[in-house]
Every structure is written in C-alpha cells, then in structure tokens.
Amino acid sequence: MKFKVRLEKDEDGWYIVTVPALPGCISQGKTEKEAIENIKEAIELHISMLAEDGIPITPPAGIKETMVSVAV
C-alpha cells in the first residue's frame, strides 16, 4: 500500500511526519530520511492495530485527491 505523508520541520530542527489518511499516525526523525523510515514503521503498526480491532481503513470523508498539470 502507498500512503501520502506530510513532512515538516519543527522549530527544534526535527522532521515531523503525519499520514492524512490515517489520523493519529505520526512520527519524527532528526533527518528527512530517518523520519521517512520511522513513519513506515508507524504506518505498519497503525494498520496492524486497526486490523486487530476490526476497524477498516477508509479515506477521510469529503476529501478527494487528484493531479493537475500546469505550464510554467
């Protein structure tokens, strides 16, 4: 499975990563690479806990993603 993640640098220099499709799934790392590796593990754990509790993975209601092209 592929998930879109949001990566941002906080005021202390750490990278915070969230997964919009999995509310509450968050991780961090000192570098971008570390943060991405950490969120992969967090996603796996999050999904396994949802499955254990019988909760389906569903996209957030009212949100639709698409791609657009622009000429620059």
Report whether pLDDT(61) > 90: no
Once rounded to an integer, what is the mean pLDDT over residues 64-69?
72
Our count of domains for the chain comes to 1
The answer for residues whose C-beta is within 8 angstroms of residue 33's C-beta and 6 or more apart is none
Q: Rounded to two decimals, what is the model's pTM? A: 0.76
- Domain of residue 44, CATH code: 3.30.160.250
The amino acid that residue 40 corresponds to is K
Burial of 35 (0-12, 13-18, 19+ CB in 10 A): buried
Q: Which domain holds residue 40?
A: 1-72
Q: Which of the pair, 10 or 62, is modelled with greater confidence?
A: 10
Element (DSSP H or E) covering residue 7: strand 6-9
pLDDT tens sequence across 18-55? 998 888 999 999 999 999 999 999 999 999 999 999 98
